[in-house]
Structure 1
Amino acid sequence: MNERSALTLVEAGGNETDRLALLEFKAQISDPNGVLSSWNDSSHFCKWYGVTCDRRHQRVTVLELRSKNLAGVMPPHIGNLSFLREVYLQNNSFRSKIPPQFGQLFRLQKLFLNNNSFGGQIPSNLSHCSKVLILNLGFNMLEGNLPVELGSLSKLQVLILQVNRLKGNIPSSFGNLSSLQLFTTILNKLGGTIPQTLGQLRNLNKLVLGTNKFVGMIPISIFNISTVTILDVADNQLEGSLPSDLDFTLPNLEELFLSYNYLTGPIPQSISNASNLVQFEILWNNFTGKMPSFSKMRGLYRFNIARNNFGSGQSSNLGFLCSLTNSTNLRILGVGNNAFRGSIPDCIGNLSITLSSFWLGFNHISETLPSSIRNLINLEILHMKSNNISGNIPSEIGNLNKLKDLDLSRNKFSGQIPESIGNLRILLKLYLNSNNLWGSVPSSLGNCQNLLLLDLSYNNLSGYIPSKIVGLSSLSIFLNLSQNSLVGSIPGEVGNLKNLGELRLNGNRLSQQLPSSIGSCISMERLYVQDNFFEGPLPSTMSSMRGLQILNVSNNRLSGQIPEYLASLNLTNLSLSYNDFEGALPTRGIFGSAISTSVVGNKKLCGGLPDFQLSKCDYEESKRRRISGIAKVLISIVSAIVGVACILSLLYFFWFRHNKKASAPSSSEDGFLHVSYHSLLKATSGFSSTNLLGVGNFGSVYRGLLDQTQLIVAIKILDLTCHGASKSFVAECEVLRRIRHCNLVKVLTACSRFDFNGNDFKALVYEFMSNGSLDEWLHPTASEYTKRSKLSLLERVNISIDVACALDYLHHHCEMPIVHCDIKPSNILLDDEKTGHLGDFGLAKFLPEAMHRLLADQSSSIGVKGSFGYIAPEYGRGSAVSTQGDVYSFGVLILEMFTSKRPTNYMFENGLDLPQFAKVALADRVEKAIDPFLLQEIEELNKRQRVTLEGKNNSWSSIHDCLASIIKIGLACSSESPRERMDIGDALTKLQGIRKKLLDFIVIA
């Protein structure tokens, strides 16, 4: 019996068949929200929720159940709804295969199955749905080849297959889809050549084939589709040039994306005919030659040709910019990383007033920056880094009062920094480093109250450091005034830099003592003050700088004993060389490594570990000198102390009582801010879904704005109905109460109250991380993919070091070792600069406590802690929680970061897991396991450096060694046996060494 005969039998059953099919559909799927509760015999099925019937036959024609949180395997009975014309099941959680019974729906016109978890192949018998107009299967996990049979759907207008795992070629039969208007396969694994037959689709409006693996030439026939408005073949492996005689007869073309390929040669002059072009992006190719005119493109919005080899060597080869002055809607203009020479034409002042981003960096541009730049009053980003631009920075730059990011570094600017730069009051980042600027640092920069980063290094600046600048409490990324000729002392206002991560003052003529106020810089991780004339001892207040990792005070005139508190800090690199320190060298902490610590050139030092090769200390002589000095001091002050002690005690008693009564009610005894249920409700707009950042095992995290501080924060609301939620809250509070580290998410306060209904309410308030979780960057959804680029190789190395630093602190530098128990990408949060912060301590354990509990109850093992795929194997066998369990999870995390494969990837089955996959690739060719994006970045790095063939091979060899070393660290940490795993401290040291090698040859853009 053929399918059409079977269908006739089904239709003979009439609407009873439809009723039974719907009931079977309901019975086999999960409906947690109860949206199908009306599907029962109390009413006719045509009145059931989401069901529409025709009036004549009372048969189901529309099934509308989009975004209803439905889940499970879709039953084959869907094929019995033979009158179905429209199916809307998108934005649910259906899984397994798409039922082939859809092919029985001969009346079907619209099928929306997007945003589910369907797997397997696309059923080839969908070709039997000859009346279908829209077929949307995007955002699933479909795999395999595209069915050749789909080419017979002559009425199909929309075919959406984006964000799946499809592979193979696009069948040439798709050229028969004569009614097709929209065809998108973005973010799949399709390969081969793009078939010439697609040029036959004369009704095609949008062709989106980006982010696949297509190779070869772009078919010229595509450029003959006169109806096309969007053509996107970006991020593939396409090569070759566009023929010079190519006739752009695309009168309707609005968006052209050719980026991230291997295309060469010039852009055809005929591109000028595409007068309706709105977006033109061809970055990251190898196009060459002179740019044509774009004067006809009056509606152009985005124009980006960066990272090519445009530029013919003529003095006027930036003249094409003048043709863009007709584009009155231009917002984005990128011409960086090319070979343009000559001057910047004065006509840039005539570019659209709507221009917000202008990139000219990494070219060979010379002469001066035109003062006409003042006309671009809506500019927010202006980058001209790494050119040969000379002359003064025009004072008219101060007219651009909407600038947020200004980069004029690595040029030949001279003269003084204009005072007008202080008019840029919303500026966030300012790079003027590596020029020939002289004169004083303008104090007007203190008006830039939002500044996060300031780099004036490698110039000829002189005079004093303005107190207004070091008093800018907004500075949080870095302040770099190094390699100038600044004099005087560091202003005491440096203590305002409580959020600053890095301070560089090295290579100046600064003098006097380091101010004690520097101890208030509690977030500082790197401090460089070497090569100056500082004197006296290191201030004792520096003991408060718990986040400090790198300290370099070498080549100064510092004296006194080396403070013991340095051994208690989280330092990874310490240079005290060539000063006048004396006495015994400590042996704890950073002083346990002669590799990480340098003390050469201090002739009065003694003791220390043998690796430092210092002389032994003469403690008797030192003791005699010390006693003599102390005795003299004691004799002179003891009588004064006795005389005033009683008076001071009395005054203190009254003062303490007064201040205790007057203390503000908004702070707790621990210094934490008090927040109420009402204040958190208001901060999140009533826990609105628009502020929802994510949902975890024990609750939800919202973005909020606290009235008390006007801070944007992340608020974790515990779902106390979940088993273990209260315990998680207590555990997290206990851990966060005891720890503080720059790579741990900072908790601001906690709330344990009642809501307006009298129910228990518990919440934690954290600092807000603007770049979300590492998981979102490694595995972006489609919407996230369009918002953000992928993490670079160096960024991934930096984040892995950040996580290792956090774990090293938890395991080795807390009063009691802490095991996190849930290391995974979603628990690594990234700030504005993509610095990694470890969060979610709901499963954390204090190590002695965990061991005590195990010994107290030998009959029960400690429960498995963590997330599937990251859990150490010994936990599953009942072993005790240990720091080595965290190391295993860290190893898996490292492998995931550099392969972009989750440990739960569908490919890992039948005994294969992520570590084994990486181990096999390492033994063969490590690049087989590496994220293809990173391989492409490395290739583009070689292109950008324009090295010789021999140099390129050396460069690749160096990076190849770094990649292999990273995978080895991941494997060493994720070893099956806990005893064979690398200590997290050793992993940290090795990763830092890898970063240093990378920095030796990566040009940071």
Structure 2
Amino acid sequence: MDLPYADQVLSGSASYLTTIILLFGSVLSLVEIGGDKIDRLALLEFKAQIVDPGRVLNSWNDSNHFCEWYGVTCDRRHRRVTIMDLHSKNLAGVVPPHIGNLSFLRKVYLQNNRFHSEIPPEFGRLFWLQELFLSNNSFSGQIPSNISHCSNLLILNLGYNTLEGNLPTELSSLSKLQKLILVVNNLTGNIPLSFGNLSSLQIFTTGVNNLGGTIPETLGRLRNLNILFLKQNKFVGTIPMSIFNVSTLTVLDVDANQLVGGLPSNLGFSLPNLKAIYLSENHLTGPIPESISNASNLNRFLIVSNNFTGKVPSFSKMRGLQWFEIAENNLGSRQSSDLDFLCSLSNSTNLGVLALGRNAFGGPIPYCIGNLSITLWWFQLDYNHILGILPSGIGNLINLEGLIMGFNNISGNIPPEIGNLNKIYIMELCQNKFSGQIPKSIGNLNMLSILALDGNSLWGSIPSSLGKCQNLLLLDLSTNNLSGNIPPEIVGLSSLSIYLNLSQNNLNGPLPGEVGKLQNLGELRLNGNRLFQRIPSSIGSCTSMERLYVQDNFFEGPLPLTMSSMRGLQVLNVSNNQLSGQIPKYLESLNLTNLSLSFNDFGGALPTGGVFRSTISTSIVGNKKLCGGIPDFLLPKCDSKESKWTRISGTAKVLMSIISALVGVACMLSLLYFFWYRHHKKALASSSSEEGLLHISYHSLLKATGGFSSTNILGVGNFGSVYKGLLDQTQSIVAIKILDLTRHGASKSFITECGALRRIRHRNLVKILTALVYEFMSNGSLDEWLHPSALQYTVRRKLSLLERVNIAIDVACALDYLHHHCETPTVHHDLKPSNVLLDDDMTGHVGDFGLARFLPEVTHKLAADHSSFVRVNGSFGYVAPEYGLGSAISTEGDVYSFGILILEMFTDKRPTDDMFENGLNLHHFTKAALADCVEEVIDPILLQENLELEKRRTVSSDGKNKSWFSTLECLVSIIRIGVTCSSEFPRERMDIGDALTRLQGIRKKLIEFIAIA
């Protein structure tokens, strides 16, 4: 039966619609297939354009679908790339434009790599892009303006690069943008007014650039803004009032610009959510608004180096205040109530820093300072007009590390309660009106590094208890009324390295012979006292001393001959004493730039070399018995008889010296022959001891190394080269060190290394066979395994996690032995991967003791080195930061180097990597990751190993025997050890023995875990 016409039409329409749907589906399928190919080719092109030293992109091949490739995530429906996550993988090269073909990309994470050249403008084709992280690379050129086409962009992070040029105004069209991060680049120009249209913006950071002009008023339209970070640019004008009306603002940072004007009186009401305000280093004026107290969430208030004036308001409502710095302004008015606001800070139970120095505060310090939080670690009040006494309540602040109150008018006694501050390391009470005696309780402050009490009216004797302050680097007691003898305990403080100043007092008696223990000291001032007798000969041991002032005393006799050893001496002032005898010739050979010998009783011929060639650099007036010298000194000629006698005497001395030397050499050769004969005879009677040293001739070494052929070079160091050689005597392969004696310090390094290796023996130290001949380590250095060359990549695998843990334990064992189990505690002082050598079994051995130092057993903690003043020897990146401040060599310095070595081993980043600049270093980099996402800093090879072990354990355990421990937890624990050991302050580092124990515990659990897997 025929269908009605309407039914026929409907039936035809349905059939037609079905056909259209099928055709459209086929087209979509073709598009998806084509898109699949486009994404794959784009990824392969990306791989082809970059350098991948960690081989994290090895999985990018035809053996699996690109959605399975490392760092690539696809959506399930279309199988298109939506996320590329390759952050912190040490990748380098240029990002190819083909990345713009990944049209489904939502998120790109390429931060913390080494990409360079310009940011490809093809990013602007990624219309679905939401997050783009390119920070901490070396991108240059301008910010591509067509990134504005990514209309769905939420986060744009381009910080820590070398981008330049203006901020593109086109970015203002990104209405969904929440975070715009452009810190630490070379951007110039102004902030576009149109950025006020970024209505969703929550974080805007352009700090540390070269932006200028005024801060746009239009930024006040950003009603969702939480963080505004504009520090260290060249902004001028005032801070727009509109910004102070953005009630959502939590952080405002405009430090280090050229801003003027003041703060609004309603600041505390208009910014109720404010947590931190940074206004330092500008030209801001006016008072601190009293309304600030209503910003009860404020924890950081820093307005240093401005021109703020007036009274400081109450901060009683700020219970969370942690950091309060208002130094270097014109606050206060020299009135008695100027410091009353300190009492309001007693409610701030987390206060750590209180810096009020260089203002106009007057009046006394209120007694309520004893009620400040015990969390306070820095209290600064210097360069004000403060009167009255220092309240005894200061002793309640038991966590103080810095107390800076110099250059005021504080009077009365120094309270003995100050001895309770046993964590303090810097105390400056100088240039005040303190009187009375120095309290003996100061001797309790065993962490003290800097003590300055100069310019007061202190009297009495110097307490010998100060000798207990074994970490002192600087002691200044000058310009007081101190009397009595100089305590031997003070001049015996070998930790003193910056200066010791006891000048302008009433000290008497002799200079103690313990002065020779000041081997690290750079400057000694004893002038303006009543010291007498001879200058002790032990002073010649002060080989690091550069300036010595002993004028205006009653020293007598000649200058000691031992002073010829003071090769670092530049300034010597012995004027106005009773010194006599001839002026020593050795003064000519010292590196003196200023010498004052005036008003003594020196006689004889004035030398003519060295500093004596200049009448400007040398003062000799008041020595009436002098003659000769260069004509400019206008001295009388030396008497001919005296000259003849001097010549004869000199000739006789030379002859006597030669004869004595010859006799000495003959005696020495006789003794050497005697001992050699006795040793040789004993060697013939019995077999050689296993610990005995080989006797190897130069000819043998020459033959062993093929004439020191370049093909046998194992490495080149600061003082020479190391060769591989085959010894005829033992038919064993050895390492032979050849010194280049033309290099300064080579011979000293050799002597030091011989002295060290003569005293120490340990399974994890490189074994010495004889002088400059060492046991050969077949697997080279740890550095070669961590950072192999391009050639080594093809033949050398990467170290596994367990291997790295084992090597770390080997190094810790070696340091533990050196620090705690040697006859004399020893500091290696140059620990780094290239000085850790690996044998056949991949066991680590610490070598190269050319910079080693020996410490007295009782005082081998920080700043107790009795060897030489630190001149920041060692390798950059591994040297402890305190050495740069003049601290003495210590075991804690080795611990710092060990911590850096640990971090390098497990992050695969050198401490000298190009990424570490502008205050960022390996320690801070990994420490930040511990609190955020530690996987970002761990060597990708180890993360991959972790994944594989987890998979194996899951398969093999079948839900049984699952350990709580994982290799990732192992890595986190090790990174934490490395971060603690490399802490900036020595007292925060753990002892190497504790580090060793923790590493051994980690290894035990790791082995159990691997066994289960």
Which secondary structure state, in structure 2, belongs to the residue aligned with residue 398 of structure 1? helix
Cα shift readout 1:551-600 (whole Å, capped 9, x = no counterpart): 11111111111111111222221111111111112222222222222222
Cα shift readout 1:55-111 (whole Å, capped 9, x = no counterpart): 111111111111122111211110000000110111111111111110100111111
1:202 paired residue among 223, 227, 242: 223
Check 1:456–1:756 CA distance in 2 against 1; reply closer, same or farther (3 A cut).
Answer: farther
Matched with 1:708 is 818
Q: How far off is 1:825 after superposition?
A: 11
Is 1:432–2:547 an aligned residue pair?
A: no
Report the Cα distance in structure 1 between the residues aligned to 2:692 and 2:350, rounded to whole angstroms.
53
Is 1:315–2:398 an aligned residue pair?
A: no
Report the Cα distance in structure 1 between the residues aligned to 2:368 and 2:188, rounded to whole angstroms.
48
Cα shift readout 1:370-422 (whole Å, capped 9, x = no counterpart): 11111111111000010011111111111212111100000011111111111
Q: What stretches of structure 1 of length at least 5 have no aligned partner? A: 1-6, 720-749, 769-801, 807-819, 838-896, 898-1005
Q: How far off is 1:433 after superposition?
A: 0.1
2:756 paired residue among 653, 668, 673: 673
Is 1:341–2:357 an aligned residue pair?
A: no
Q: Which amino acid aligns with 1:124?
A: S
The residue correspondences of 1:881-920 to structure 2 (distance < 5 A) are none
Q: Kindly indicate whether the alpha-carbon contact (under 8 Å) linking 1:359 and 1:383 is maintained by their aligned counterparts in 2.
A: yes
Q: Kindly indicate whether the alpha-carbon contact (under 8 Å) linking 1:716 and 1:765 is maintained by their aligned counterparts in 2.
A: no
Report the Cα distance in structure 2 between the residues aligned to 1:392 and 1:664, rounded to whole angstroms.
64
Check 1:712–1:135 CA distance in 2 against 1; reply closer, same or farther (3 A cut).
Answer: farther
Which secondary structure state, in structure 2, belongs to the residue aligned with residue 297 of structure 1? coil
Q: Kindly indicate whether the alpha-carbon contact (under 8 Å) linking 1:475 and 1:497 is maintained by their aligned counterparts in 2.
A: yes
Q: Which amino acid aligns with 1:368?
A: I
Cα shift readout 1:610-638 (whole Å, capped 9, x = no counterpart): 2222221224235559989999xx9xxx9
Mean CA deviation greater in 560-569 or 104-113: 560-569
Q: Which amino acid aligns with 1:673?
A: A
Report the Cα distance in structure 2 between the residues aligned to 1:168 and 1:9, rounded to whole angstroms.
48
Is 1:362–2:383 an aligned residue pair?
A: yes
Which secondary structure state, in structure 1, belongs to the residue aligned with residue 248 of structure 2? coil
Matched with 1:511 is 532
Check 1:687–1:11 CA distance in 2 against 1; reply closer, same or farther (3 A cut).
Answer: same
Check 1:54–1:220 CA distance in 2 against 1; reply closer, same or farther (3 A cut).
Answer: same
Which secondary structure state, in structure 2, belongs to the residue aligned with residue 708 of structure 1? helix
Report the Cα distance in structure 1 between the residues aligned to 2:351 and 2:782, rounded to whole angstroms.
36
Is 1:466–2:581 an aligned residue pair?
A: no
2:239 paired residue among 218, 238, 243: 218
Report the Cα distance in structure 1 between the residues aligned to 2:193 and 2:160, rounded to whole angstroms.
24
Matched with 1:621 is 642
Q: How far off is 1:672 after superposition?
A: 3.6
Q: Kindly indicate whether the alpha-carbon contact (under 8 Å) linking 1:205 and 1:229 is maintained by their aligned counterparts in 2.
A: yes
Q: Which amino acid aligns with 2:506?
A: S
Matched with 1:231 is 252
Q: Kindly indicate whether the alpha-carbon contact (under 8 Å) linking 2:191 and 2:215 is maintained by their aligned counterparts in 1.
A: yes
Is 1:478–2:593 an aligned residue pair?
A: no
Cα shift readout 1:859-910 (whole Å, capped 9, x = no counterpart): xxxxxxxxxxxxxxxxxxxxxxxxxxxxxxxxxxxxxx9xxxxxxxxxxxxx
Matched with 1:375 is 396
Q: Percent identity?
A: 67
Check 1:652–1:504 CA distance in 2 against 1; reply closer, same or farther (3 A cut).
Answer: farther
Matched with 1:95 is 116
Q: Which amino acid aligns with 2:431?
A: R
Matched with 1:520 is 541
Q: How far off is 1:261 after superposition?
A: 0.5
Mean CA deviation greater in 420-429 or 474-483: 420-429
Report the Cα distance in structure 1 between the residues aligned to 2:497 and 2:554, rounded to whole angstroms.
26
Superposed CA RMSD: 4.3
Q: Kindly indicate whether the alpha-carbon contact (under 8 Å) linking 1:25 and 1:74 is maintained by their aligned counterparts in 2.
A: yes
Matched with 2:133 is 112
Q: Kindly indicate whether the alpha-carbon contact (under 8 Å) linking 1:464 and 1:488 is maintained by their aligned counterparts in 2.
A: yes
Cα shift readout 1:165-214 (whole Å, capped 9, x = no counterpart): 01111112211212211111110111111111111222211111111111
Q: Kindly indicate whether the alpha-carbon contact (under 8 Å) linking 1:388 and 1:412 is maintained by their aligned counterparts in 2.
A: yes
Q: Kindly indicate whether the alpha-carbon contact (under 8 Å) linking 1:255 and 1:278 is maintained by their aligned counterparts in 2.
A: yes
Which secondary structure state, in structure 2, belongs to the residue aligned with residue 479 of structure 1? strand
Cα shift readout 1:669-712 (whole Å, capped 9, x = no counterpart): 65642278965799xxx9999xx99x9xx9xxx99967425666
Q: Kindly indicate whether the alpha-carbon contact (under 8 Å) linking 2:268 and 2:293 is maintained by their aligned counterparts in 1.
A: no
Q: Which amino acid aligns with 2:756?
A: L
Q: Which amino acid aligns with 2:293?
A: S
Q: Kindly indicate whether the alpha-carbon contact (under 8 Å) linking 1:29 and 1:73 is maintained by their aligned counterparts in 2.
A: yes
Q: What stretches of structure 2 of length at least 5 have no aligned partner? A: 1-27, 684-688, 694-748, 768-779, 793-807, 820-824, 854-868, 889-917, 919-1013
Check 1:169–1:8 CA distance in 2 against 1; reply closer, same or farther (3 A cut).
Answer: farther
Mean CA deviation greater in 172-181 or 410-419: 172-181
Report the Cα distance in structure 1 between the residues aligned to 2:287 and 2:387, rounded to whole angstroms.
24
Q: Kindly indicate whether the alpha-carbon contact (under 8 Å) linking 1:679 and 1:707 is maintained by their aligned counterparts in 2.
A: no
Matched with 1:456 is 477
Check 1:581–1:365 CA distance in 2 against 1; reply closer, same or farther (3 A cut).
Answer: same
2:297 paired residue among 276, 293, 307: 276
The residue correspondences of 1:919-958 to structure 2 (distance < 5 A) are none
Q: How far off is 1:244 after superposition?
A: 3.3
Report the Cα distance in structure 2 between the residues aligned to 1:320 and 1:201, rounded to whole angstroms.
35
Q: How far off is 1:505 after superposition?
A: 0.3
Matched with 1:20 is 41
Q: Kindly indicate whether the alpha-carbon contact (under 8 Å) linking 2:765 and 2:847 is maintained by their aligned counterparts in 1.
A: no
The residue correspondences of 1:428-827 to structure 2 (distance < 5 A) are 428-621=449-642, 623-624=644-645, 672-674=755-757, 679=764, 707-709=817-819, 714-715=829-830, 757=842, 763=848, 766=851
Q: How far off is 1:367 after superposition?
A: 1.1
1:179 paired residue among 197, 200, 212: 200
Check 1:712–1:415 CA distance in 2 against 1; reply closer, same or farther (3 A cut).
Answer: same
Report the Cα distance in structure 1 between the residues aligned to 2:334 and 2:781, rounded to whole angstroms.
59
Q: How far off is 1:312 after superposition?
A: 2.5
Q: How far off is 1:136 after superposition?
A: 0.6
Cα shift readout 1:4-43 (whole Å, capped 9, x = no counterpart): xxx9999783110001111111112222222222222222
Is 1:164–2:185 an aligned residue pair?
A: yes
Q: Kindly indicate whether the alpha-carbon contact (under 8 Å) linking 2:832 and 2:878 is maintained by their aligned counterparts in 1.
A: no
Matched with 1:242 is 263
Matched with 2:443 is 422
Check 1:193–1:836 CA distance in 2 against 1; reply closer, same or farther (3 A cut).
Answer: farther
Matched with 1:400 is 421
Report the Cα distance in structure 2 between the residues aligned to 1:284 and 1:681, rounded to whole angstroms.
54
Check 1:59–1:655 CA distance in 2 against 1; reply closer, same or farther (3 A cut).
Answer: closer
Matched with 1:61 is 82
Q: Which amino acid aligns with 1:64?
A: D
Is 1:352–2:467 an aligned residue pair?
A: no
Report the Cα distance in structure 2 between the residues aligned to 1:677 and 1:81, rounded to whole angstroms.
58
Report the Cα distance in structure 2 between the residues aligned to 1:317 and 1:656, rounded to whole angstroms.
85
Check 1:544–1:35 CA distance in 2 against 1; reply closer, same or farther (3 A cut).
Answer: same
Check 1:134–1:423 CA distance in 2 against 1; reply closer, same or farther (3 A cut).
Answer: same
Report the Cα distance in structure 1 between the residues aligned to 2:562 and 2:542, rounded to whole angstroms.
10
Q: Which amino acid aligns with 2:818?
A: Q
The TM-score, its normalising length taken from structure 2, stands at: 0.66
Which secondary structure state, in structure 2, belongs to the residue aligned with residue 150 of structure 1? helix
Matched with 1:193 is 214
Check 1:23–1:630 CA distance in 2 against 1; reply closer, same or farther (3 A cut).
Answer: closer
Report the Cα distance in structure 2 between the residues aligned to 1:403 and 1:37, rounded to whole angstroms.
53
Check 1:87–1:618 CA distance in 2 against 1; reply closer, same or farther (3 A cut).
Answer: same
Check 1:382–1:680 CA distance in 2 against 1; reply closer, same or farther (3 A cut).
Answer: farther
Check 1:599–1:189 CA distance in 2 against 1; reply closer, same or farther (3 A cut).
Answer: same
Alignment size in residue pairs: 733
Is 1:266–2:314 an aligned residue pair?
A: no
